[in-house]
Amino acid sequence: MLNNHAKLMQFFSIAQEVTGRKKLQKMIYILQKCNIPFEEKYAFHVYGPYSEELTLRVEELCNLTFIDEVKEDKGNYFQYHYHITDRGKNFLEEFGLDMPDMSNKVDQLKSKSARFLELVATMLYFDDLTKSEVEAKIHQVKPKQKYSEAEIAASWAFIGDVTQTH
Amino acid sequence: MAYKDEQLHEEKVFKDPVHRYIHVKDRVIWDLIAAPEFQRLRRIKQLGTTNLTFHGAEHSRFSHSLGVYEIVRRIIYNFKGRRHWNDDERLLSLCAALLHDLGHGPFSHSFEKVFKLDHEYYTQQIIIGDTKVNEILRRVAPGFPQKVADVIAKTYEDKLVVSLISSQIDADRMDYLQRDAYFTGVSYGHFDMERILRVMRPIEDQVVIKSTGMHAVEDYIMSRYQMYWQVYFHPVTRSAEVILTKILDRAKHLFEADDFTFKLEPTHFASFFTRSATLDEYLKLDEAVVYYYFQQWQEEDDVILSDLCERFMNRRLFKYIEFDPNKQMGEVKALQQLFRAADIDPKYYLVIDSSSDLPYDFYRPGEEEERLPIHLLMPNNELRELSRQSDIVEAISGKKRTDHKLYFPMDKLEEIKDEDLKQQIKAILYDQGEIQDVE
């Protein structure tokens, strides 16, 4: 009962603040790929793995005032900031969720840009392919992002690191 | 003549209540429709349990798939000769449109939740695996099945082709909104699709809408919004989904238990319970098979399984109250204890259902690069996101409606012999708000 909501609350309680919906989407996806048991269903969209279920669940958490959403007008687009509220903290405490520790992973993910996490998430999406096939796929599905060889190498290193971190 | 270019001697048409006629001239499309994997879609309802709410909603994924194909066919007809559109992608687009839902199983939403399945994975497997559909696609070109699979998975390099069947205003949504409205009999869900098709323009890697067509798109967005709340999120349908999910949970639990013997062994479900279903086993499971088991399982010795199946078959659904997790989690815990005391297992008979548990979305522009929004093509060739131009869309997009409901079997609670216990449960439920009927 509301287990999946509680898992997200646990994430927000560790992350404190997340800036950007795209970043949030990719963070949860990468955590899933690190075997953290988030159950939101993802599909591939123009900007990499995206979960409508996650979007709606975050909206629910905002409407319940468990999470505070701040909308910032950036001129030609909006950016959203999320942080857990006191009510949210109470809910989480009462819920008594049993979940693996993901603090180090969340810290690592938070320190990266949305663009970089998009690359990481996309590479993980194609994890059934070989390394060279993944790299070819990146250039094929994301030609506009023009990811450099250095960024792709950094992404491989990050994947190796984040999947090992406890 | 190459198979990919082969045309039927005479155009074939399917009479369709939504699009009037569905036209087929390509041999490849005709052969795909005849493939057993596509014919199977006749036995999968488009709206799962919605027919328990709207009795007309018996239409299948087969008719929806034909509808999506027809809309894409018309879009491509309009795109022909336009800059940015490559007509070499025509057959690929048509095949992907026709096959986009091929991997859906019976009551797929509940099945996917309980058995951790993904219909998109099975769509891919049917297209690239050892199937008749694959055999037909390979006759076009050896790499053609993979291309079709990539378009459906949205990982194909030409995003314009992808966006025909998967975007915020695509052939998939345009068909199901109209088809679902027609078969449920509701008065919402209608919009001027012909007008939208006329104002669609291919621009680089997306389909955009000429700004003069904005009002037709507003109508589409309104239809989508109304259908979500009036049909897709209908509380009675959600009640049926809750029971269906619990039947599968219970059958899985009994299958894994050492001390239970089914009168009718769940042969067709076994590989789903063990998460080892092969493609062949997946394709064998359709709604007719599922209904057969549910019919028979009413006779099982397990009272929970037989009761849930009887409820599902005879539409004896759970009632519900509106539920606020912010204020009422304590009451749920109390109810769980009282249910146990009354020998009613709360795992199966006390269920919170949230709007995010449902597989539908409504339009929201979102953040930059979160998801591709609907773009209007302005007279000066600039692209503007729809809600920035339309007050109506902006008003709807800003309204975030979410809800949670608590489902339970009122009739079972009435049967509790211990009057004090019964009154305690009812006191909590009635205190939370009006108990809603699901008739």
The predicted structure's pLDDT at residue A95:
86
Indicate whether B371 pLDDT > 80. Answer: no
Residue the block writes with tokens 């993904």? B118
Read off the pLDDT of residues A128-161 as tens digits, 9 standing for 90 and up. 999 999 999 999 888 888 899 999 999 999 999 9
Q: Are A8 and A58 in contact (CB under 8 A)?
A: yes
Read off the pLDDT of residues B20-45 as tens digits, 9 standing for 90 and up. 999 999 999 999 999 999 999 999 99
Residue to test with chain A: of B165, B371, B374, B404, most A Cβ within 10 A: B371
The two tokens of residue A82 are 């999320």
How many folded domains does chain B comprise? 1
Higher pLDDT, residue B184 or A1: B184
Per DSSP, the residues of B108-163 read: HHHHHHHHT--HHHHHHHHHHSSSHHHHHHHHH-TTHHHHHHHHHHT--S-HHHHH
- A47 touches B: beta carbon within 8 Å: yes
Q: Are B348 and B249 in contact (CB under 8 A)?
A: yes
| Residue B359 DSSP code | S
Residue to test with chain A: of B161, B339, B402, most A Cβ within 10 A: B402
- A166 touches B: beta carbon within 8 Å: no
| Residue B45, in any domain of the structure | yes
How many folded domains does chain A comprise? 1
The predicted structure's pLDDT at residue B95:
98
pLDDT band at residue B108 under the 50/70/90 scheme: confident
Indicate whether B99 pLDDT > 70. Answer: yes
Domain containing residue A89: 3-164
pLDDT band at residue B369 under the 50/70/90 scheme: low
Distance CA(A137)–CA(A135), nearest Å, equals 5
The predicted structure's pLDDT at residue B400:
65
The predicted structure's pLDDT at residue B394:
87
pLDDT band at residue B367 under the 50/70/90 scheme: low
Domain containing residue B50: 3-189+225-232
Mean per-residue pLDDT over chain B, rounded: 93
The predicted structure's pLDDT at residue B326:
85
Distance CA(A146)–CA(B377), nearest Å, equals 25
| Residue B81, in any domain of the structure | yes
Cβ within 8 Å, pair A21-B402:
no
| Residue B19, in any domain of the structure | yes
Cβ within 8 Å, pair A2-B354:
yes
CATH assignment of the domain containing B121: 1.10.3210.10
Give A70's strand partners.
Answer: A81
pLDDT band at residue B439 under the 50/70/90 scheme: low
Q: Are B420 and B309 in contact (CB under 8 A)?
A: no
Beta strand B375-377 with B206-210 is parallel
Q: Are B329 and A91 in contact (CB under 8 A)?
A: yes
Read off the pLDDT of residues B196-233 as tens digits, 9 standing for 90 and up. 999 999 998 899 999 999 999 999 999 998 898 899 98
Per DSSP, the residues of B26-82 read: EHHHHHHHHSHHHHGGGGSBTTGGGGGTSTT---BHHHHHHHHHHHHHHHHHHHTT-
Question: Percent of chain B having pLDDT more than 70?
Answer: 97
- A97 touches B: beta carbon within 8 Å: no
- A78 touches B: beta carbon within 8 Å: yes
Read off the pLDDT of residues B223-269 as tens digits, 9 standing for 90 and up. 998 898 899 989 999 999 999 999 999 999 999 998 999 999 999 99
